[in-house]
A and B are shown apart, each in its own frame.
Chain A
Amino acid sequence: MTKKQRKKLPERRLPEMNERRNSVFGGILGDNIVLSGLMVISPVIICGDNVRNAEALIYAFTAITFFSVMIASFVPKSIPYTLKVVIYAIISSLVYIPVRLAAEEYYPEAITRIGIYFPLLAVNSLIVFQTEARFFRMKKLRMMFTLIFCILGFDAVMLLTAVIRELLAYGTINSRMADADTLISGLSQPFGGFIMLGLMCGAYRWIRSAARREKDSSRSVTDVSGK
């Protein structure tokens, strides 16, 4: 959301948005990095067409992001922004090396299938650019939990997308036959990924605004009964 749009928002909604952004659990539902922030969407669109790819991506994203952000939190804040960005990118590129070596042990086939999206996870905008605004203003323990829920938010979207796309595109779930009558093979293609993610984003926003309306109405009922 741009500064201009934020200015136009009613004052009542701004604290709510900040509250959602600052909430420890917000990373899963309130401010999901994929569905709300549109970060790290290319692996979801291209590789999220089956559960086995999703597992490998979840492992890679979780390990790289968690360790990179935790290590990066020790970088002094007084360093100029440009240098900090460079340092964050170098840290995540270094973290990528052991993660990749471990992945070759556990997911040797997935590494080939995921291809370039594996190293690209290491330079995702959450690590390189968003860490400053999202995490480093918090205390370490709170930051760690917020980060974990942010990562879980990505993992949940990745898994959900993979299950739906695999079921509808191939008629399987985790390579096991499922009872799907109609197959939409296009969902396994990049365009299927774009459309699927767009629909999921829309559904996520609708659910979020419905939940907010519900919360608002219950608040107003409480206010009235309080009077």
Chain B
Amino acid sequence: MYLVNDIIALLAANLILMQALGTSTLFIAAGSRKNLIATALCITVFTTIGSAAAYLIDSSLPVDYDYFKLLIYTLTVSVMYVSMLTALYFTARENFERYRKYIHLSAFNCAVMGTLFTISGKAADDSSYMNIWSYVRGGLEAGAGFVIASLMLTVAYRKLNSSKVPASFRGFPAMLIYLGIISMAVYSLK
């Protein structure tokens, strides 16, 4: 029963289905299994490490300087972005060209930035979330939520892009409507 509750909680807090964050990236990720794994992995790394960094920023940034939060988050994500590309270059130089696009795709993404701001907002509303574990868990949950939403879309991806769908609705429009229906089902679980 705990597992069911956890799954429902994970779905109800899903950044894509409930907050539409990273939807366009999801459409790319759902295109193939390789895209899904690589994008989901990159996004999870960004959200998890980014969340830990966001905790340090939030706990040290005075409330009066809230305007600078975006700039500091951007700088943090930029450092991670360059570091990940550098790490990929030195560890898997032969695959660098093939995999760097996933890092480009994931870095400055609504799913990543949205996660950082969502967790930060949650901690501002409820001080019990103001600890590094809650931040990191939030980052991991966001990554897991992305994987779940991607899997749901992958299942129907081919059908939504098939010639049986009217040309005007084929692809993105059909995928948006499909996500809307899934989102409606998840909304009813809340």
Partners in one complex: yes
Q: A93-B71, A194-B177, A199-B177 are in contact. Are A206 and B168 (CB under 8 A)?
A: yes
Q: Is A23 an interface residue (CB 8 A)?
A: no
Which A residues, 46 to 74, have Cβ-Cβ distances below 8 Å to chain B? Answer: 46
Let me know if A89 and B78 touch, CB within 8 A.
yes
Interface size class on chain A is 35 or more
CA distance A96 to B19 in the complex (A): 21
Let me know if A190 and B18 touch, CB within 8 A.
yes
B19 / chain A contacts, CB cutoff of 8 Å: 42, 46, 190
Let me know if A115 and B121 touch, CB within 8 A.
yes
Choose from B17, B104, B113, B177 the contact partner of A195 (Cβ within 8 Å).
B177
Let me know if B177 and A82 touch, CB within 8 A.
no
Give B67's nearest chain A residue, CB to CB. A97
- With both chains docked as a complex, state the minimum distance between the C-beta of B96 and any C-beta of chain A, in angstroms: 12
Let me know if A119 and B69 touch, CB within 8 A.
yes
Let me know if B114 and A203 touch, CB within 8 A.
no
Q: A194-B179, A195-B181, A203-B168 are in contact. Are A42 and B70 (CB under 8 A)?
A: no
CA distance A8 to B73 in the complex (A): 41
Q: Chain A 107-128, CB within 8 Å of chain B: the 1/0 string?
A: 0000000011001101111001
Q: Is B21 an interface residue (CB 8 A)?
A: yes
Interface size class on chain B is 35 or more
A203 / chain B contacts, CB cutoff of 8 Å: 168
Let me know if B117 and A120 touch, CB within 8 A.
yes
Q: Is A191 an interface residue (CB 8 A)?
A: yes
Q: Is A26 an interface residue (CB 8 A)?
A: no
Let me know if A97 and B183 touch, CB within 8 A.
no
Choose from A93, A191, A209 the contact partner of B184 (Cβ within 8 Å).
A191
Q: Is B82 an interface residue (CB 8 A)?
A: yes
Q: Chain B 115-146, CB within 8 Å of chain A: the 1/0 string?
A: 00110010000000000000000000000000
Choose from B22, B118, B174, B187 the contact partner of A116 (Cβ within 8 Å).
B118
B180 / chain A contacts, CB cutoff of 8 Å: 191-195, 198
Choose from A125, A186, A202 the contact partner of B173 (Cβ within 8 Å).
A202
Which A residues, 18 to 41, have Cβ-Cβ distances below 8 Å to chain B? Answer: 38-39, 41
- Chain B interface SS verdict (over half): helix
- With both chains docked as a complex, state the minimum distance between the C-beta of B122 and any C-beta of chain A, in angstroms: 11
CA distance A90 to B107 in the complex (A): 13
Which A residues, 190 to 219, have Cβ-Cβ distances below 8 Å to chain B? Answer: 190-195, 197-199, 201-203, 205-206, 209
Choose from A120, A122, A191, A205 the contact partner of B183 (Cβ within 8 Å).
A191
B69 / chain A contacts, CB cutoff of 8 Å: 119
- With both chains docked as a complex, state the minimum distance between the C-beta of A53 and any C-beta of chain B, in angstroms: 14
B178 / chain A contacts, CB cutoff of 8 Å: 198
Let me know if A120 and B113 touch, CB within 8 A.
yes
B118 / chain A contacts, CB cutoff of 8 Å: 116
Interface, chain A (partner B; CB < 8 A): 38-39, 41-42, 45-46, 82-83, 85-86, 89-90, 93-94, 96-97, 100-101, 115-116, 119-120, 122-125, 128-129, 186, 189-195, 197-199, 201-203, 205-206, 209
Interface, chain B (partner A; CB < 8 A): 17-24, 27, 67-71, 73-75, 77-78, 81-82, 85, 104, 107-108, 110, 113-114, 117-118, 121, 166-169, 172-181, 183-184, 187
Question: Could you name 26 residue pairs across A and B whose Cβ atoms are closer than 8 Å?
Answer: A38-B23, A41-B20, A42-B23, A90-B75, A90-B78, A93-B70, A93-B71, A93-B74, A96-B67, A119-B70, A120-B21, A120-B117, A123-B110, A123-B113, A190-B17, A190-B20, A194-B20, A194-B177, A195-B176, A198-B169, A198-B173, A199-B177, A201-B173, A201-B176, A205-B173, A209-B167
